Structure 1
C-alpha cells in the first residue's frame, strides 16, 4: 500500500510499474517519497509562517495544509512531465523551466523554517529593535509636549522670581529703617524719628505687597504645577497606549527583516538543503539513463500517436472519397433528361407564381 502511494506521488503510471522490474519500482518509490516529504516540509513551514500572521493554530494548520497540497501537486506535475529521450540537450532544455520553478518553491519553503530554526537569534534582534522603537517613540511623544511643558516651567520660574525680587526689596527696606533707628545710616540720629516712621511705613507696605504676592503667585504656581502633572500624565498615557503596538512588532515581515540582519551563511546552507531536496527528483530523472519504464511509456505513447495519426488519415481519405463520389453522382445526374424536364417544370411554376403575385400587387395599387 505504501509502495502504491509513493508511486502515485511520483506521478508515474502504476500499471506500467506493476509489470516492471524491482529496481525500477524502487526508483519511483524514492522519487515519490521525495515529493511527499517535500510537501510535508512545505506544510510545516507554511503553518509556522501563517501562525505568526493569524496567531491561531486552526487557521495556520488549515492554510498550511492547503499550501502543502499545492506544493505536492506542483512537484508531482514537475516530475511527471519530465520525459526521457535520446538527446541530452533536449532533456536539459526540457527541465530548465522546471528547475527554475523548483528554486522558487525551495526558497518559499525554506524561509519559514529558517525563521523557526533561528527563532532565538531573531528574538534578540527584535528585542533590540523594540527597545530602539520604544526610545524613539518616547522622544517623538516628548517633542509634542516639551514646548508646552517648558513654557509652563518658565512661567513658574518667573512667578518665583517675582516673589524673590519682592523679598529682596522688602529686606532692603527693613535694613534701611533698622539702620535709621540705630543711627548707623540715613540721618544717623539714634531713635525713632519722622524719617524712621516714613521708612518703616514703606517697609510695611512692601511687606504687605510681598504677602499678597506670595498668596497670588503660589495659587498661580499651584495651578501651573497641576497643568504640568496633567501634561505628564497625558504623555505617559500616550506612551502606554502606543507601547502595545511596539510590543507586537514581531510579525512575519519583521521576522524576515530580522533574519536578514543575521549572518547569511547559515540561512544559505538551509536554502541549499531544501533546493537539493526539491530538485533531487528532477536531477535523478535527468542523470539516470533511459530505463525500462521509459521504454514502456514511450511504446504506449507511440502506439497512441500512431493510432491517432491513422484515424486522422482515415478521416481525410473518407472526406476525399465522399467528395469524389458526390461529384461523379451529380455530374451523371446532370446528363439525365428526366431530371432536366422536372427542374424545368418547377422553374416554370415559380416564374408563373411570381408573375401572378406581381399582377395582384399592382392591381391593388391602382384600385
Structure 2
C-alpha cells in the first residue's frame, strides 16, 4: 500500500479528536492542517506533530503534498469545501452530516464519479468495533428477528445563540449534529424507514433543540429515537429481537462495551480494548478503499448517506427548520401552481 497522505481542514474540537486518533491508525500519514488563522494552524500542527500548517483552506486543497482531505468545519461549509476538494482531484472524508440536504450530496457524488475520487461521509461510529460486533450478532440470528431499536444522543450544550450548534447560518440544530447518530443506527440495521413521526422543539434561533422520533417499517419494525442539545441522557442503545437483545454501553456511538442478553437471561458481554475515541477505524477504512481504487465505501456508501439526509430532510420539512439557500416550505403550493400553469389555468 502506498502511504496515503492526509490533510485536515479545520482546527475545532472534532478535528482535534480526529488528529489525536490518527496516531492509532495502522495506515496513512497526517501531513498538513489548514485553518483560516495562521496562529490556529500553527498551534494545531505543533500539538499533533504535523509537518505543514497552512493559513487558508485553498492552499491545502491545491497542495501536492496530500491525497485525501478530512473536512471538520461547521455544517454549512461542508458542501463548498468538499466540492473544491473533489474539483482539485482530492479524496474526501467529510464530517457528518455530509451536507445540509440530500440534493447537495447528490451533486457531490456525481462530481466525485466524474473526477474519479473517493468520497465518504465521516460516519465514524459505523466502524466502531462494538457496532461491527452488533451487526455480526444480528446477522447470525443471535437475537432472532430484530423488532425494535431505541437510541438517543442528547447533551446539554452552550445556550449562547451565536454558538455553532444554535446558529441557523452554520447549519446548527440537534438533528444534524446528534440526531443523525440514532437515525444512522436505525437505518444501518433496518434501512430507510417507510414512515416517520416526530415531535420537536424549535428554539429562538430557528434551529431544533430537541426531538423524539418514531421511525417505522412496513414489515412491522419500529425505532424510538431521541436527540437533544438541551438535556442530558445516558445515551444508550438497545436492539431488541424475538430471541434476546443487544445493549450498548453508555454513549453507544463510541462505546467500547456491548452485551448480548438471550431470552433465557444468559449474558455475553464484550469489552473492546481500543485506544482513543475511535476515529482511527474510519481513517483505516478510507485508506483501504483508496488503496483498492474504490470511489465509495461498501460499509458506508453514497446511498447510505443519501438515505440519512433524505430522512433528515423530511423531518426538517415537517418541523419547519430550513437553512440559508434551501427552498422554502412553499414547495407543495408551488407545485400546484406550476401544475395549473401547464394546463393553462394559472391566474396572473
Structure having the larger proportion of residues in strand: 2
User: Higher relative contact order by CA 8 Å / sep ≥ 6: 1 or 2?
Assistant: 1
Taking structure 1 as the reference length, what is the TM-score of the superposition? 0.22
Taking structure 2 as the reference length, what is the TM-score of the superposition? 0.23
